[in-house]
Chain A
């Protein structure tokens, strides 16, 4: 049974900030007590490096680190734990795929298919890769709401030049859940691979990589209750294994010689040069366990419930323009008529409500929604309808005068 009050009790940020309404979980999420305890436990009783110490603590922590791979494998329903690479964030994971895939498999004239909804972290690495190799960037058509037009999407493959597709599971501005299974099926039909930005999708939805059949999936620990500094790259083993690392160094090689030759460790270790964020990975284990305990079906349905509740309330207000009324995954993007988004969010801040304004790192999206800057409110499992009610009351009475007054 989903009990939001019980969940809220697990989050010290909520206890310690009783007047704060936090609607910016798409930027980063709060962390529950077991995650915090795990990180502290590492610092207080288990500090060591992994995979190289000849002593008990190092051996034990190395095992816990590797156990997290198994936990993440289970969470994604991946085939094997060797398909899970730890990086330092979704951005880092997306770069590993883009830079290396392009270097190894793309040639001049090939097409990278992406979209205008993309976050900078999913599109800039491909821009750079495309320039280096001489590839073309192509944008899949979107309908007026920002949903992917599946017929137009398939059309993009017809000249047989698309070799790789880069799309998000959930847009970080629109909160739409894209039909990943179908997008993947079509990509594979034309022998293209698909790399998915899961930063917003994985924290909110039940993900089954076998069922979705995606080739690569990147996401961050810190947006799904885990510590910062840890990213995850899932890749189908045979593909992942063909990629080269971005970084080289300790921990990722087995041998190296005078003549400059290197024998790397096996996948996934070959991608993890240097000391990783060990405490972060251990904390991620607890975060995944926490989400599993709540149940990802519950996480998804509660996120949808809050999103729809907020949108239905906003739709009744005359002073609000909503840009993603079909959103399902905890993200609502809107503006107050006649008020610049940052003026409004500055006023909300004064009322104890944390939201984000701006272009949310998706700087091409104005092509679709027609405005460059918006307010984004994003929800997670610890938010409540009462908080939304309070926010709606504030929005209802927001005027430009009040926004200006908030800085006087």
Chain B
């Protein structure tokens, strides 16, 4: 279990200074929009995949701390990974959110969300950006 202080620091850092929050206007990137129909979280994720490898992932939109930080962290986590590895990381993340046993080592800073399952009303916030990333990976993977 990650220390509370560290978790808070990670979350606020990725919320206040999300290094992957950027609108991309580059034809090589694909994008997916995902928005909550019950809250305000609304993100678009942009992804560049070359030779089966995630080169770069960015996002923009409006989101709460959980939505923004979780998306930003996942963009970092999958960078440089091949599609299978990226999917695997996302699956481990979903397991954590579903309160199932998961591999901490694969989630690095995303471990900050290891108690999110306790807040039923916020789980959606922590999965909106991740679903968009997953959609993009699945899209590339089908080719």
Contact = CB atoms under 8 A, between A and B. Distances in A.
Contact of A373 (B11, B40, B116): B40
B62 to A, nearest CB: 7
B65 A401 contact: no
B40 A358 contact: yes
Interface string B42-78: 0000000000000000000011111000000000000
A389 B115 CA distance: 31
Interface in A387-408: 400-401, 403-408
B28 interface: no
B116 A359 contact: no
A342 B64 contact: yes
Contacts of B112: 408
A343 B62 CA distance: 13
Interface in A352-397: 357-359, 372-373
Interface stretch (B86-94, B119-127, B129-137): B119-127
B4 interface: yes
Given A342-B40, A346-B119, A400-B12, A405 B65 contact: no
Contacts of B113: 407
Contacts of A342: 39-41, 64, 122, 125
B122 A372 contact: no
B62 A372 contact: yes
A408 B122 contact: no
Interface string A236-272: 0000000000000000000000000000000000000
A121 interface: no
Contacts of B41: 342
B122 to A, nearest CB: 6
A349 interface: yes
Given A346-B122, A404-B65, A358 B39 contact: yes
B8 A341 contact: no
Interface in A325-361: 340-343, 346, 349, 357-359
A184 B4 CA distance: 58
Interface majority SS (helix, strand, loop, mixed), chain B: helix
B33 interface: no
Given A341-B40, A346-B119, A358-B40, A408 B4 contact: yes
A405 B40 contact: no
Nearest to A344: B64
A407 B2 CA distance: 13
A343 B116 CA distance: 13
B1 to A, nearest CB: 10
A357 B39 contact: yes
B120 to A, nearest CB: 10
A381 to B, nearest CB: 27
B7 interface: yes
A403 B65 contact: yes
Contacts of B4: 405, 408
B39 A408 contact: no
A408 B64 contact: no
Contacts of B143: none
B25 interface: no
Contacts of A403: 65
Contacts of A358: 38-40
A357 B116 CA distance: 19
B16 to A, nearest CB: 8
A39 B2 CA distance: 50
A269 B87 CA distance: 57
Contacts of A346: 64, 119, 121-122
Contacts of B40: 341-342, 357-359, 372-373
Contacts of B7: 408
B62 A407 contact: no
Contacts of B8: 401, 404-405, 408
A111 B125 CA distance: 40
Nearest to A346: B122
A371 to B, nearest CB: 10
Given A343-B64, A349-B121, A404 B11 contact: yes
A18 B116 CA distance: 26
A373 B36 CA distance: 13
B12 A340 contact: no
Contact of A407 (B38, B63, B116): B116
B15 to A, nearest CB: 8
Q: Which of B7, B40, B62, B121 has the most CB of A within 10 A?
A: B40
Contacts of B64: 340-343, 346
20 contacts: A340-B64, A340-B65, A342-B125, A346-B119, A346-B122, A349-B121, A357-B39, A358-B38, A359-B40, A372-B40, A372-B62, A373-B39, A401-B12, A404-B8, A404-B15, A404-B65, A405-B8, A407-B116, A407-B119, A408-B112
Interface of B: 4, 7-8, 11-12, 15, 38-41, 62-66, 112-113, 115-116, 118-119, 121-122, 125
6 closest Cβ contacts across the A-B interface? A373-B40, A340-B64, A342-B64, A343-B64, A343-B65, A404-B11
